[in-house]
C-alpha cells in the first residue's frame, strides 16, 4: 500500500529495482520525496523480511554511509549500553512480528533491527527506524554525530574535515607534514614544530572562511590509522574500537612528550605501533593545531582498528 499512485515509481527508482513486498512511506523530506519505508514482515512470495524500516532517501543514505565508512558501526556499538540496545532490538522485533497475519504458518522473520540479534550491523536500518519515531539508542547516537559536529580524518597525505554542510580537505597528512617539517632533526627543532603547527593553522583559515559553522561545532572527532596510533600511545596499549575522550591537558602532555623525544625513545613507548613512530609527531601536530585554534577542551579519538 502506498500513499500516492505515483509514489511507486519513485520508490522503484530509489531502490533501483521493483519492490518485492508491500510497504508504506512513513517519512518524507521537505519536498515530499520518500525517505523511509515501512515494510511488511513478509515479501510477496512469503519470504521473511526482517527489516521493518528501510532508508531510501539518497541524502540520508549518503550521510549514514559516510558515518559507517569512518568507523561508525564500532563506535556506535561501543557508545551505547548493551542492555538498552538489546531492549531496542526486542521492541523492533515485537512491532514487526505483530504485523504478521495470524494464520501465517511459514517461515517468520527473526532478529531485531535489520535482522540483527545482538550488537549493530547496519546504521542505515537504525537511522530509518529512528526517523520513523523508533525508540532506538543507536538512532539517538547517530543524531548526535550528525548534529553540529566535525569529523576529522587524518590520512598519509591529506586531512579531511566532515561537517553537516559538506567536507573540506587540506593537502597535509601525517606523512606529508613529517616529510616537509619534521624529518631533518631528531628530535625536531622548536622552529620546525612551529612551522608544522603553523602550516595546519594556515589551512584552518580557509576552513573557517568556507565553512564558518565549524567555529561553533559542538564536538570534534578524529579518526584514521594515525589516530588509532595516537590513542594507543596515550593509553599505553591498543584500545577497543569506539570513541575515546582526549582532554586538552592530556593532548598537550602527549604533544610535549613525542615532540621532545628522539626516535629511538619514541619507539619504546608502550602502545605506539612501529609504523607510526616517525609520524606520530605530525599526527599530534594536526590534532593540537585544531584544539588550539578552536579552543577545544576535549576531542574524541575514534579507534577503528
pTM above 0.75, yes or no: no
Q: What is the pLDDT of residues 135-148, one digit of tens each?
A: 999 999 998 888 77
What phi, psi does 149 have (nearest 5°)?
A: -125, 165
Give the pLDDT of residue 155: 96
What phi, psi does 238 have (nearest 5°)?
A: -65, 135
Give the pLDDT of residue 199: 98
Q: What is the pLDDT of residues 249-258, one digit of tens each?
A: 999 999 999 9
What phi, psi does 87 have (nearest 5°)?
A: -65, -35
Q: Cβ distance 100 to 45 under 8 Å?
A: no
Q: Would you tell me how many other CB atoms lie within 10 Å of the CB of residue 1?
A: 7
Give the pLDDT of residue 93: 96
Give the pLDDT of residue 148: 73
Average pLDDT over residues 172-196: 97
Average pLDDT over residues 299-303: 93
Q: What is the pLDDT of residues 79-119, one digit of tens each?
A: 899 999 999 999 999 999 999 999 999 999 999 998 998 89
Q: Would you tell me how many other CB atoms lie within 10 Å of the CB of residue 191?
A: 10
Calpha distance 165→153 (Å, rounded): 16
For residue 1, pLDDT over 60 is answered with no
Give the pLDDT of residue 30: 81
Those residues whose C-beta lies under 8 Å from the C-beta of residue 31, and which sit 6 or more positions away, are none
Q: Would you tell me how many other CB atoms lie within 10 Å of the CB of residue 225?
A: 17
Q: What is the pLDDT of residues 205-247, one digit of tens each?
A: 999 999 898 998 888 999 999 999 999 999 999 888 888 999 9
Q: Would you tell me how many other CB atoms lie within 10 Å of the CB of residue 301?
A: 24
Give the pLDDT of residue 294: 96
Average pLDDT over residues 179-200: 97
Give the pLDDT of residue 2: 43
Q: How confident is the model at residue 165 (pLDDT cuts 50, 70, 90)?
A: low
Average pLDDT over residues 75-81: 91
Q: Average pLDDT over the chain, rounded to whole?
A: 93
Q: What is the pLDDT of residues 282-294, one digit of tens each?
A: 999 999 999 999 9
Q: What is the pLDDT of residues 169-179, one digit of tens each?
A: 999 999 999 99
Amino acid at each position: 500500500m502506498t500513499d500516492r499512485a505515483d509514489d511507486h515509481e519513485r520508490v522503484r527508482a530509489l531502490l533501483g529495482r521493483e519492490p518485492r513486498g508491500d510497504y508504506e512511506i512513513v517519512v518524507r523530506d521537505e519536498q515530499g520525496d520518500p525517505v523511509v519505508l515501512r515494510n511488511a514482515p513478509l515479501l510477496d512470495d512469503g519470504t521473511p523480511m526482517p527489516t521493518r524500516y528501510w532508508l531510501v532517501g539518497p541524502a540520508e543514505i549518503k550521510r549514514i554511509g559516510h558515518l559507517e565508512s569512518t568507523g561508525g558501526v564500532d563506535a556506535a556499538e561501543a557508545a551505547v549500553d548493551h542492555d538498552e540496545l538489546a531492549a531496542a532490538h526486542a521492541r523492533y522485533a515485537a512491532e514487526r512480528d505483530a504485523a504478521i497475519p495470524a494464520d501465517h504458518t511459514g517461515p517468520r522473520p527473526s532478529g531485531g533491527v535489520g535482522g540483527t540479534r545482538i550488537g549493530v550491523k547496519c546504521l542505515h536500518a537504525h537511522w530509518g527506524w529512528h526517523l520513523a519515531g523508533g525508540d532506538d539508542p543507536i538512532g539517538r547516537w547517530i543524531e548526535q554525530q550528525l548534529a553540529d559536529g566535525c569529523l576529522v580524518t587524518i590520512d598519509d597525505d591529506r586531512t579531511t574535515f566532515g561537517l553537516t554542510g559538506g567536507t573540506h580537505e587540506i593537502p597535509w597528512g601525517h606523512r606529508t607534514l613529517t616529510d616537509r617539517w619534521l624529518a631533518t632533526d631528531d628530535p625536531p627543532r622548536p622552529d620546525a614544530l612551529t612551522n608544522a603547527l603553523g602550516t595546519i593553522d594556515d589551512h584552518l583559515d580557509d576552513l573557517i572562511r568556507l565553512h564558518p559553522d565549524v567555529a561553533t561545532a559542538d564536538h570534534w572527532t578524529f579518526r584514521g590509522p594515525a589516530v588509532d596510533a595516537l590513542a594507543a600511545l596515550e593509553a599505553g596499549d591498543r584500545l577497543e574500537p569506539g570513541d575515546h575522550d582526549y582532554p586538552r591537558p592530556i593532548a598537550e602532555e602527549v604533544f610535549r612528550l613525542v615532540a621532545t623525544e628522539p626516535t629511538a625513545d619514541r619507539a619504546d613507548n608502550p602502545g605506539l605501533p612501529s609504523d607510526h613512530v616517525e609520524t606520530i609527531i605530525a599526527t599530534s601536530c594536526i590534532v593540537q593545531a585544531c584544539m588550539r585554534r578552536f579552543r577545544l577542551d576535549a576531542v574524541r579519538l575514534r579507534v577503528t582498528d
